[in-house]
């Protein structure tokens, strides 16, 4: 069993109070702390779902709403059913976030305001500021002790997809170049 000890001076930078930021909703400001694991896990899963929509290869007919699978890679620009001239293929990240209605839920989790209050008061610039504070507190390495940072990076290299055993590297033939440009006549 681990024994509780005072936080060593060199690790005090990891305390949430030292990483707090301020966000604004309407005319009021709120302290925001780095998220705890359960909160972060939930938000990361939701961001993954939103990013899947942003990066989808599918297209949707702007007229009839039909989903065309793999429209972007197949360069399908018109609906096969009604010949609508434009398929909507990808939304911008901010559009996807706004359409998901997740931002009010996330800000609610942090401020205890209701999602309705947040929707009624938070401006786009306030949302952008919130996103910046959220990123800095939860995804940057600012303040992480150098030894911890290097150990974490070593762990990622050890288990990351780019790491292959030396013998597999030698067996894998180099990828052939595929020219995707149309043939010259």
Q: Which two tokens stand for residue 156?
A: 């990622």
Contact 129, 23 (CB under 8 A): yes
Residue 19 has a pLDDT of 87
What percentage of the chain has pLDDT greater than the value 70?
A: 82
pLDDT at 41 over 90: yes
Q: Which residue has the higher pLDDT, 58 or 46?
A: 46
Geometric angle at alpha carbon 60, from 55 and 63, rounded to 5°: 150
Compute the average pLDDT of residues 81-102: 73
Mean pLDDT of the chain: 82
Q: pLDDT (tens digit, 9 = 90+) per residue, 95-122? A: 777 778 899 999 999 898 999 999 999 9
Compute the average pLDDT of residues 34-51: 90
Q: Give dist(CA 42, CA 105) in Å, integer.
A: 11
Helix, strand, coil share of the chain (percent; to 5): 50, 10, 45
Q: Give dist(CA 159, CA 175) in Å, integer.
A: 23
Compute the average pLDDT of residues 17-21: 90
Name the residue among 108, 63, 106 with its Cα closest to residue 81: 63
Q: Give dist(CA 68, CA 91) in Å, integer.
A: 15
CA 125: distance to chain centroid? Answer: 18
Name the residue among 127, 65, 72, 67 with its Cα closest to residue 96: 127
Q: Which residue has the higher pLDDT, 5 or 175?
A: 5
Q: pLDDT (tens digit, 9 = 90+) per residue, 126-181? A: 999 999 999 999 988 887 889 999 999 999 899 876 544 444 444 444 444 334 33
Task: Place 91 in a pLDDT band, splitting at 50, 70 and 90.
Answer: low
Q: How many CB atoms lie within 10 A of CB 94?
A: 14
Compute the average pLDDT of residues 65-94: 77
Burial of residue 17, with CB atoms counted within 10 A of its CB: 0-12 exposed, 13-18 middle, 19 or more buried: exposed
Q: Give dist(CA 90, CA 39) in Å, integer.
A: 28
Compute the average pLDDT of residues 57-79: 83
């Amino acid at each position: 069993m681990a024994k509780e000890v005072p936080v060593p001076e060199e690790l005090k930078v990891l305390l949430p109070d030292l990483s707090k930021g301020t966000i604004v909703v309407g005319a009021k400001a709120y302290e925001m702390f780095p998220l705890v694991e359960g909160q972060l896990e939930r938000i990361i899963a939701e961001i993954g779902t939103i990013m899947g929509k942003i990066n989808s290869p599918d297209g949707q007919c702007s007229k009839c709403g039909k989903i065309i699978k793999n429209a972007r890679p197949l360069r399908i620009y018109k609906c096969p059913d009604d010949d609508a001239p434009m398929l909507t293929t990808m939304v911008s990240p901010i559009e996807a976030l706004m359409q998901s209605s997740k931002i009010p839920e996330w800000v609610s989790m942090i401020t205890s305001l209701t999602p309705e209050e947040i929707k009624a008061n938070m401006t786009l610039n306030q949302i952008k500021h919130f996103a910046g504070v959220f990123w800095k507190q939860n995804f940057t390495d600012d303040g992480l002790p150098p030894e911890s940072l290097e150990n974490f990076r070593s762990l990622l290299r050890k288990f990351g997809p780019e790491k292959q055993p030396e013998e597999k590297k030698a067996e894998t033939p180099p990828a052939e170049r595929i020219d995707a440009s149309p043939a010259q006549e």
